[in-house]
Structure 1
Amino acid sequence: MASIVAELLFIPAPGVGHIMSTIEMAKALVNRDQRLSVTCLLINPPYSVFALTAYLKSLANNTIKRIRFIELPQDPTPPKLNPKAPATSFYEFINSHSKYVRSIVADMLNEAGPCRLVGFVVDILCTGMIDVANDFNLPTYVFFTSNAAFLGFKLYIETLCVDQGQDVIELSNSEGEIVIPSFVNPVPMKVYPALYQAQDGLDFLKSSIGKMRKAKGIMVNTFLELEPHAINSFYETNFPPVYPVGPVLNLDGVARKADDMDVLSWLDNQPPSSVVLLCFGSMGSFDKLQVKEIACGLERSGYRFVWSLRRPPPPEQSYEVLPDDYDDPGVVLPDGFLERTSETGKVIGWAPQVSLLAHEAVGGFVSHCGWNSMLESLWFGVPTATLPIYCEQQMNAFEMVVELGLAVDLKLDYKMNVFNPDGKMVVVTAEEIETGIRRLMEDENVRRKVKEMSDVSRATVVEGGSSYASVGRLVQDIMSNIT
């Protein structure tokens, strides 16, 4: 075997979806070329979350060939997360680790041996680290954990702000539609991410895209066959090269809890494609009123279900604590719901989502439309009904339903500002839930398209596939950094 000569420094953001897909990307690179190795710097999250803690523990216990993990120290008093400026304060929290990164890089560059540090790979939320890489004259690649259409949206908004001096805040709060080069259809303002309707979020967008312009390349967790229009839209810009490298998925899921086996055993006894899975990500939870509407709609639909129901954090801690499992979900569900649905449904806490989507009994997925979840649903050929909650999820829902025809519209513009629980809430009614679930389970056209895209998503990452070729070009570029 050839000796290892090129080492990459990976810096993922401390969020479940971000860190899992980033580490899968690291695995894909080292598996592709024996001359590559990775040092991954782990930032402890500013909040506690079961899945992330379990996953980080599993990394410590599992040796991955040519990938090592270093846990970064944290300042005794790290920057506080500010609910009034969530994006900026999170960015400051990440950047507070820069001095520790500088120290590690200096040590790596001084080490004698066959390894040569040839570049950084940073998460979209860690673009401040590009300045650290530049201090050492090292190139940076950004791993964009969402889709190409959304990257195009961010680039377009930054251009409107910086180059054209438009009042984007006013635009974002208007009615009507906006024409964005990375989307085929005009995008309705109702799906514009709430995060970027405030100055704090807009400042973060401008800063991160400005930093990304200094990168040597952008890896996007998507594939050419899924987003041909969005990917091609970058060829007419002066943005760094975009490499579609997906789907990059953690198909092992996270460490399981004992009661996960209970729900999987229950699924073993259900007919194929008969069960609806409702799961809303690590930050997805609903108030009591919305929970009751979901329960009523679910019961009225008559379909079998598995529902991952999480308890919202207390309002005063909404930015410091993530949703947790209920000790007794019956306290928020309609009277008698658990008894009436005991044969046809399961209400659980944190869900082993990958294991559930992979199960042949699961035939539909009501989702918050996080991008990892969308890619998992396509991989396993399970159609989605959209119930987006925060960040870019409304745009993901719009892309999946309107642009690609790979999901059904339960609600495209549901928004819950998880960083501002006092904000105005919209309630999705039981009727909307029931109608959405029926369409999800009965729309044969969407089901057929999702099955076809499932085959494509699996073919694209193996030899001869477009993402396989894209990763090959990326590796060539990385190896060219050895001087």
Structure 2
Amino acid sequence: MDSTLHVAIVSSPGMGHLIPVLVLGNRLATHHNIKITIFTITTNSSSPEIEFLKKFNEKKTIEIIHVPSVDISHLIDSHTKLFTQLRILVREALPEIRSGIASMNHRLDALIVDIFGTQILPIAEEFNIPKYVFHPSNAWSLALFMYQQVLDQEIEGEYVDLKQPLEIPGCKALRPDDVMDPMMDRSDQQYHEYLKLTMEYTCFDGILTNTWEDLEGDTIKALQSNKKFAISFILSNLPDWSVEENS
């Protein structure tokens, strides 16, 4: 029986999401001898991504599964923000991803998703697969995600209209002028999708984020102080992306 660990990673649509996932998958495969399967969700404009995938994976170090493009034109209109569109795209692609996972000969040892893939929670739970989020940004943005539910409950009105910075325990405060785009209009569907996403983050078994202690020491300590979450820090200043476990 093959004892090699098998991990699947789900990439959101777009090169900006695909490249970090490919780098992570390639590092896990080449430096840790883990079998990696990457699900890529294609769109009608995915030709450059497919060509890039062919060149990136010439040595076949990872398995690539292309999830067919899904028509979401009936679910959006001209006012639908890109953030919302990506959430819908991934949501509509979930049945294909589930089929791909169900058809595997052996149960996955772990399932990793990037930011827009958090809606995969029910599938991971159905197959009893340990589930992780890959947050390719820094620890501070992760701290904001983890604290967003509190901000939503405690603050009335629009964040951009506040006179004082938004306080995040143990972390640098957020000026109202600097709020993320999905936070700018709390009446828009984009904000509600963003809020759901941040709630989904807290339901995973662990989170991988891209930082190191010398850069964001205080923020890392603040995140580590919450024992509910297992957070691993991918040290981007090291050439082999070594992983430092916090459990």
TM range (shorter): 0.7 to 0.9
Q: Say which of 129, 133, 149 aligns to 2:140.
A: 149
SS of aligned partner of 1:178? coil
Q: What is the correspondence of 1:436-475 to structure 2 with a 5 Å cutoff?
A: 457=237, 460-461=238-239, 468-470=242-244, 473=245
Equivalent residue number for residue 171 of structure 2: 183
Measured in 2, the distance between the counterparts of 1:92 and 1:77 equals 7
Give yes or no for the alignment of 1:23 onto 2:11.
no
Measured in 2, the distance between the counterparts of 1:176 and 1:43 equals 40
RMSD: 2.6
Query: Between Structure 1 and Structure 2, how many residues are aligned?
Result: 244
Equivalent residue number for residue 362 of structure 1: none
Measured in 1, the distance between the counterparts of 2:91 and 2:44 equals 13
Measured in 2, the distance between the counterparts of 1:207 and 1:242 equals 20
Q: What is the correspondence of 1:208-247 to structure 2 with a 5 Å cutoff?
A: 208-237=197-226, 239-247=228-236
Amino acid at match of 1:21: P
Measured in 2, the distance between the counterparts of 1:46 and 1:226 equals 39
Amino acid at match of 1:220: T
Residues 10, 112 of structure 2: 8 Å contact kept: yes
Equivalent residue number for residue 190 of structure 2: 201
Residues 39, 68 of structure 1: 8 Å contact kept: yes
Amino acid at match of 2:43: P
Please state how far the C-alpha of 1:138 moved relative to its aligned partner: 1.1
Measured in 2, the distance between the counterparts of 1:10 and 1:220 equals 15
Q: What is the correspondence of 1:366-381 to structure 2 with a 5 Å cutoff?
A: none
Please state how far the C-alpha of 1:245 moved relative to its aligned partner: 0.6
Please state how far the C-alpha of 1:81 moved relative to its aligned partner: 4.7
Residues 221, 245 of structure 1: 8 Å contact kept: yes
Q: 1:246 to 1:13 in 2, by over 3 A?
A: farther
Q: What is the correspondence of 1:83-122 to structure 2 with a 5 Å cutoff?
A: 83-86=78-81, 87-108=83-104, 111=105, 116-122=107-113
Q: Say which of 141, 163, 179 aligns to 1:192.
A: 179
Q: Say which of 135, 139, 158 aligns to 2:126.
A: 135
Q: Say which of 49, 52, 60 aligns to 1:55.
A: 52
Give yes or no for the alignment of 1:172 onto 2:175.
no
Equivalent residue number for residue 44 of structure 1: 42
Amino acid at match of 1:142: V
Please state how far the C-alpha of 1:49 moved relative to its aligned partner: 7.6
Please state how far the C-alpha of 1:129 moved relative to its aligned partner: 1.1
Equivalent residue number for residue 10 of structure 1: 9
Measured in 1, the distance between the counterparts of 2:47 and 2:107 equals 35
Please state how far the C-alpha of 1:209 moved relative to its aligned partner: 1.8
Please state how far the C-alpha of 1:469 moved relative to its aligned partner: 4.7
Listed as ranges, the gaps of 5+ residues in structure 1 are: 248-456, 478-483
Equivalent residue number for residue 69 of structure 2: 74
- Which structure is larger by alpha-carbon Rg, 1 or 2? 1
Identity %: 20
Please state how far the C-alpha of 1:189 moved relative to its aligned partner: 1.3
Superposed CA offset, 1:436-475 (max 9, x none)? xxxxxxxxxxxxxxxxxxxxx2xx455xxxx6251xx48x
Listed as ranges, the gaps of 5+ residues in structure 2 are: none
SS of aligned partner of 2:242? helix
